[in-house]
Amino acid sequence: MDSTEVTKKQPVMSTSIMSAKNVDVFYGKKQAIKNVSLEIPENQITALIGPSGCGKSTFLRCFNRMNDTIQTCKVTGDIRFAGQDIYNPKVDVVALRARIGMVFQKANPFPKSIFENVAYGPRIHGLAKSKAELEHMVIASLKSAGLYNEVSDRLHESGTSLSGGQQQRLCIARAIAVQPQVILMDEPCSALDPIATAIVEELMESMKENFTIVIVTHSMQQAARISQKTAFFHLGELVEFGDTKAIFTNPNDQRTQNYISGRIG
């Protein structure tokens, strides 16, 4: 990775790992995303914010083609991962999703043991060559997700028996275990209490060393706390995209101004 020198005047720079250009998304005839272009910098946290129904989650799900599962949904435009067009017919969505993982709004552990939840990804992708290696990967992932100390003595109990915050961290561990480059997070803390939220935010901060994170959040404070870049969506349009600090202190657009001061929402 080539690092660029950061001067005071220049914004935070980094290589972009994903880019979107002129992306439109339709649900049947209804257009949910209108001509959105942006770049996701590597090993940083990019936050997508905006009022509910603005299309930020829809846009997030374009990055690993989770929208494919919805039959009426149609995506046009150019989305690239490491320079490759991910909507190219040659691209295998299974491979794509192994590179670009996802964590959902509501924690959705499988009704299996904690161990099996985390081992699921390495198993299907054949990442571990031996049982010992698999065990090692599961433990490492749980450690990365900051969950290992809490569950080390009950790895074989059901994942659904954990508390809400723990379940969400289990889902993050599960995503990490596949060793993706990018992790998409769709309002991962919206169902959590403030303490659990703080733990997850801390976790994300530590994760960005190894992963690129794109997070959709309805909480502006969260975006301000954790992200380096922020994109503000309104009615399917990307209103403003830039350094988080700049967006929150000195927005260019009146709509952004209104939103962060609480007039839209």
List interacting residues with other proteins (CB under 8 A). Answer: 64, 66, 69, 71, 81-84, 86, 90-92, 94-99, 101-102, 104, 106, 108-112, 120-121, 124-126, 171, 174-175, 178, 181
Name which of 38 and 86 has its Cβ closer to other proteins: 86
Least distance CB 261 / other proteins (angstroms): 34
Name which of 91 and 198 has its Cβ closer to other proteins: 91
Under DSSP, is residue 62 helix (H, G, I), strand (E, B) or coil? Answer: coil
Burial class (CB in 10 A: 0-12, 13-18, 19+), 8: exposed
Name which of 126 and 194 has its Cβ closer to other proteins: 126
Strand partners of residue 21: 78
Least distance CB 14 / other proteins (angstroms): 15
Name which of 64 and 256 has its Cβ closer to other proteins: 64
Least distance CB 255 / other proteins (angstroms): 31
What DSSP character marks residue 158? B
**Phi (first) and psi of residue 63, to 5 degrees:** -70, -30
Least distance CB 44 / other proteins (angstroms): 15
Task: Tell me how long the chain is.
Answer: 265
What DSSP character marks residue 130? S
Q: Dihedral sign for Cα 196, 52, 40, 25, please.
A: positive
Name which of 207 and 239 has its Cβ closer to other proteins: 207
* 212-216 vs 229-234, strand pairing mode: unpaired
Least distance CB 180 / other proteins (angstroms): 8
Q: From the centroid of its chain, how far is CA 101? A: 8
Residue found by looking up tokens 């919206």 in the block? 190
Least distance CB 174 / other proteins (angstroms): 7
Name which of 120 and 241 has its Cβ closer to other proteins: 120
> For residues 101 and 50, what is the distance between their CA atoms, to the nearest angstrom?
22
